[in-house]
Amino acid sequence: MKKQILYIATILIGVFIFTLFIPNISIGETTTSATGTSNPTGLADGLNVFKNTNSGLNTGGTLIGYIANIIRWVLGLLGTVFFVIIVLQGYIYMTAVVDSSKTASAIGAICNAVIGLLIIMGAFLITNYVTSALINSGGGASTSTETGTGTSAGGTGAGTPVTNDSTAYKTTRSINYNGVNVDVIIDKPSINEVDVLITYHGTVESDDAILTAADRTLTEFKNLLDSQNMMLVSVAHPQRNILFGDNIKQAEAAFLWVKNQASQDLGITVNKIFLAGHSQGGYLVTRLNTMHQTNGVIANAPGPLDLLYRCQLEETGQEKASYSCDNLRNEYGSTSTNPNAYSQRSLLNYNDSFKSDILFVQGLADSAIQLHSWPTFKNEIGNCANCMASKFVEVPGGKHGAIFASENAKSELNNFISNH
């Protein structure tokens, strides 16, 4: 009876260790292609304790990554051999009733097999650690991990990025640039040398909705483009639990990742980079235009233009309260006691030193708050002496999303991109 219990316990331990390291082909990350088919991104990577994912190391299509996968496959096969040894020797041990030499031999073989599995476990961990360090050290400042796949931004799953091929895909990815984390949705065409449009969504009620908003914004801008060969990267910038405007850090990190690291991480060549934003996203791209040079910037209904005015209306009950103004009030006090704190974060404070040409689109049937400050904003930019060229497209009857509903605005956007 004791032998049977020991045998069963040994088998269970062997099964546990074996299932950690047995090689597999398709379990793990897949990316959805433009045709809707799911494509495995490579050999699954076994146990991965160094990334918060299920499928392991980011190979990035590199030689190091492929070698690492080969090593893991060899180790997995060796683990299979040791597991079989444990099963066979356990059976011999359990059935060797009177032959003490067979019992001792079986115990020795089982012990050696378990030690072998433990060595394999250590080899797996070392392989993951060394190869991930080598692969991710290429850019120095940036790391990235895929955290979702499929045609929806809310998809789940994790794993290695798509390797250097000509597959069209759409995936969600967590990136880190200079210590700043942000999620992005990548929509890559079936070419590897691409111009990139980075998009920024508008205000959301909860940060739980930012991936959905980012996905919707990507789709809306993609539908405007004449060219089908542009890669889109939509930034899921946070909003709810930070002071208005502080998400410029995530907005900038995503841009710098595309500029400096995306080519290496995705196995592509990034040529031109454009920024496009709607509403609060328009606010962010306008601010980014005072910080970095790109090939061009598109801002639809950027705002809030004047936070001081907006928050004053909320304080007097003329407008519905928003968390943006509530957060500022909790931090700085009311608009009457500390007006400069509100003005400094307003877009009216970022209307000069544009480093790239910018296209503004504004619906003339937008909200009263937006249109109240629009003439002032437009006039100050028109008088800017140290700005690159600015163009204003005003859409009669257009509402807050005028760029997505106006054929004229769509034409202006595509002309702007083609001419830059």
The Cα-based distances of 342 to 170, 237, 243, 317 in angstroms read 38, 21, 11, 18
**What H or E segment, with its residue span, contains residue 342?**
helix 339-345
Amino acid at the residue 186: I
Q: Could you list the mean pLDDT of each consecutive 10-residue stretch along the chain, which spans 420 residues?
A: 57 57 40 39 36 38 64 79 79 69 77 82 77 52 49 37 71 95 96 97 90 97 95 95 95 98 95 98 98 98 96 95 94 96 96 96 96 96 95 97 97 97
Q: Please, what are the domains in the chain?
A: 2-136 (no CATH), 142-306+346-418 (3.40.50.1820)
pLDDT at 180: 96
Amino acid at the residue 351: N
pLDDT at 16: 57
- What's the rounded Cα separation, in Å, for the pair 55 and 62? 17
Nearest alpha carbon to residue 123 among 194, 46, 65, 188: 46
CB-based contact 25:104 (threshold 8 Å) = no
pLDDT at 127: 74
β-pair partners for 170: 32, 187
pLDDT at 89: 76
- What's the rounded Cα separation, in Å, for the pair 52 and 50? 7
CB-based contact 146:72 (threshold 8 Å) = no
Q: Which residues of 149-172 are buried (b: 16+ CB within 10 A; e: fewer)?
A: bbeebebebbbbbbbeeebbbbbb
